[in-house]
Amino acid sequence: MSLPSNKKKLEFAHPSEEAFALILDYYGIEWQYEPRTFPLEWDENKQVLVAFAPDFYLPQQDLYIELTTLRPQLSSHKNRKIRRLKELYPEVNIKLFKRREMHTMMVKYGLDSEAERIRGSEAQEKNG
């Protein structure tokens, strides 16, 4: 598995993100990895307390994508952040690509090890 040379220095937080990026590359979809961080909560001094950086941005579609391989019962924290992002930034288009959707995509493309990794994954949520 390898990314184009101009993106090889990227460090993905999860192997599924790299697998997803390779699929986008194959189909000629332009993407950026975590290009923007959205502040979600501030303290009284206007210091950012909570922020959220969606995993991918597709410029041609003007769409942010957040991937999750978490089981639904473990992804409520991420869901809350996305709901809050939509409230604060209604002009932003964001899609949560859920665990089952990720698993189905990996099965569809015959990526058995990635599919198995997603199926076996538990709470590997990263900060952000």
Contact set for another protein, span 5-34 (CB under 8 A)? 19, 22-29
Tell which one of 39, 89, 107, 125 touches another protein (CB under 8 A): 107
92 binding another protein? (CB under 8 A): no
- ∠ CA 33-38-43, nearest 5°, is 145
> Which residue pairs from 27-36 have beta carbons closer than 8 angstroms and sit at least 24 positions apart in sequence?
29/58, 29/60, 29/61, 30/58, 30/59, 30/60, 31/56, 31/57, 31/58, 31/59, 32/56, 32/57, 32/59, 33/7, 34/128, 36/64
Tell which one of 95, 124, 125, 128 touches another protein (CB under 8 A): 95
Q: Which is nearer to another protein, 12 or 97 (CB)?
A: 97
97 binding another protein? (CB under 8 A): yes
Query: Site residues (CB under 8 A) for another protein?
Result: 1-3, 19, 22-29, 58, 61, 63, 65, 95, 97, 100-101, 104-105, 107-112, 115-116, 119
